Structure 1
Amino acid sequence: MPVANHSKSERIDVRASTPVKVLLQEAARAAHKNVSEFLLEAGINAANQTLADRLRFVLTPDQWGAFQAALDRPVVSKPKLKQLLSEPGLLG
Structure 2
Amino acid sequence: MSVSAKNTLRMAATASGRKIAEFVLESAMERAKETLPDRQLFGLNAKQWAAFQAALDKPPRDVSRLARVLRKPGVFETGF
- Interval containing the TM-score (normalised by the shorter chain): 0.5 to 0.7
Q: Does residue 1:21 correspond to 2:9, yes or no?
A: no
After TM superposition, the score normalised by the length of structure 2 is 0.54
Q: Choose 1 or 2 for highest CA Rg.
A: 2
Q: Does residue 1:45 correspond to 2:30, yes or no?
A: yes
* 2:16 equivalent in structure 1: 31
Identity of aligned residues (%): 31
- Structure 1 moving runs of 4+ over 2 Å: 70-73
Alpha-carbon offset, residue 70 of structure 1? 3.5
| Unaligned 5+ runs, structure 2 | 52-80
Q: Does residue 1:69 correspond to 2:47, yes or no?
A: yes
Q: Number of residues paired by the alignment? A: 51
- 1-structure distance, mates of 2:21, 2:49: 45
Task: Work out which structure has the larger RCO, using CA pairs closer than 8 Å and 6 or more positions apart in sequence.
Answer: 1
* 2:78 equivalent in structure 1: none
Alpha-carbon offset, residue 53 of structure 1? 1.5
Alpha-carbon offset, residue 48 of structure 1? 1.2
Q: 1:51-72 CA deviation, whole Å, 9 max, x = no partner?
A: 1111125x7xxxx6xx131455
Alpha-carbon offset, residue 33 of structure 1? 0.4
